[in-house]
A and B are shown apart, each in its own frame.
Chain A
Amino acid sequence: MKTKLFLLLLAVGAFCAVQPAQAHHAFAAEYDPMKPVTLNGIVTRMEWANPHGWIFMDTKESDGKVKHWTIETAAPSQLSRHGLKKADFTDGMTAVVKGYQGKNDPGLANGRTLVLKDGRSFYIGSVGGPNDGAEPQ
């Protein structure tokens, strides 16, 4: 009995050990790693919030229509660690966000990098994204 229990715990432990660290929801559950997007537009609002933040952005499509984007960012603690501050955001500012589009919601994206008007660039991704080199080393 004890040996069986030990082997079971060992198996569970081994399984957990090979699972990569993930955000509280898996990247693959909502975002498509085959659909990278570069969004150049106006930040209408930023929610500096837990468990992760949101950037609301308007971009202009090639046909001139405005498209609304909801972009997921990392949590406040992670954004701060990468040097970003809540005060870096003002409604109506221009910015460039690189990320990946939602699987089912075309207006949704997972942000990876943010470039502000003054040229400063920040990593805004949460863990679990595709290994595309955006993460700071």
Chain B
Amino acid sequence: MPSIVRTFAWLEGLGWTTALRESPYGYPLIETSHVACIVVFAGLVIMMDLRLVGLAFTNAPLAQIQRRLFPWQMATFVPSTATGILLFCVDPLRYYRNVFFLAKLVLLVLAGLNALAFHLKTYRRADRWDEDSQVTALARFAGAASLLLWSATIISSRLIPNNWFK
């Protein structure tokens, strides 16, 4: 048995993962929180992305939009990730074989790298951008990539329950 399967089997057999898997309220509560946090997070990310690609809030300075949205993006990203990890731990053997779950992980990493590159590189020069004019081509690209990657992440997440390819 490969060691990753052994690790997941061990994880699945733990007291707390078993309790959560069989719980009448605990699991639905975590699952609901997971989705609720993602809904808010995605909404806030889309607002920022639409500003970057120039489709919304073009009369508001980008730096101000970023400053107002970012804390709430983080405040919803952290709990959605934490609850997501919990949900994985409850049934690791089923998820790691699920093609949509694997696709979601890859998309999540790509979306994360895009956001990281934007914040560390492109956004650094944001204060030099005209307050209400278009942002640089690189920043527009980051916004468009973010829209596509986060949408694809959520779509593949929604497909995880369908075990069409086993």
Query: Which residues in A have some Cβ–Cβ distance to B below 8 Å?
Result: 24-25, 29-30, 48-51, 75-77, 80, 86, 104-105
In the complex, A16 Cα to B125 Cα: how many Å? 42
- Contact partner of A50 (CB less than 8 A), chosen from B28, B164, B166, is B28
For this complex, 20 residue pairs linking A to B, each with C-beta atoms less than 8 Å apart, are A25-B161, A25-B162, A29-B162, A29-B164, A30-B162, A30-B163, A49-B22, A49-B91, A50-B20, A50-B21, A50-B22, A50-B27, A50-B31, A50-B90, A51-B31, A51-B161, A75-B24, A76-B22, A76-B24, A105-B166
Per the 8 Å Cβ criterion, residues 1-60 of B in contact with A are 20-25, 27-28, 31
Given contacts A24-B161, A29-B162, A30-B162, contact A77 B22 (CB under 8 A): no
- B27: chain A residues at CB < 8 Å are 50-51, 75-76
Tell me, rounded to whole Å, the shortest Cβ–Cβ distance linking A8 to chain B: 13
Tell me, rounded to whole Å, the shortest Cβ–Cβ distance linking B92 to chain A: 13
- B161: chain A residues at CB < 8 Å are 24-25, 51
Tell me, rounded to whole Å, the shortest Cβ–Cβ distance linking A35 to chain B: 18
In the complex, A76 Cα to B22 Cα: how many Å? 6
- A86: chain B residues at CB < 8 Å are 22
- Interface pair A76/B163, CB less than 8 Å apart: no
In the complex, A76 Cα to B27 Cα: how many Å? 10
Q: Which residue of B lies closest to A24 (CB)?
A: B161
Query: Which residues in B have some Cβ–Cβ distance to A below 8 Å?
Result: 20-25, 27-28, 31, 90-91, 161-164, 166
- Interface pair A48/B22, CB less than 8 Å apart: yes
- Interface pair B21/A49, CB less than 8 Å apart: yes
Tell me, rounded to whole Å, the shortest Cβ–Cβ distance linking B16 to chain A: 14
In the complex, A70 Cα to B28 Cα: how many Å? 23
- Interface pair A77/B162, CB less than 8 Å apart: no
Tell me, rounded to whole Å, the shortest Cβ–Cβ distance linking A27 to chain B: 11
In the complex, A49 Cα to B22 Cα: how many Å? 5
- A50: chain B residues at CB < 8 Å are 20-23, 27-28, 31, 90
Q: Which residue of B lies closest to A23 (CB)?
A: B161
- A105: chain B residues at CB < 8 Å are 166
In the complex, A10 Cα to B69 Cα: how many Å? 26
- Interface pair A75/B22, CB less than 8 Å apart: no
In the complex, A24 Cα to B25 Cα: how many Å? 16
- A49: chain B residues at CB < 8 Å are 21-22, 91
Tell me, rounded to whole Å, the shortest Cβ–Cβ distance linking A34 to chain B: 19
- A77: chain B residues at CB < 8 Å are 24-25, 28
- Interface pair B28/A75, CB less than 8 Å apart: yes
- B162: chain A residues at CB < 8 Å are 25, 29-30
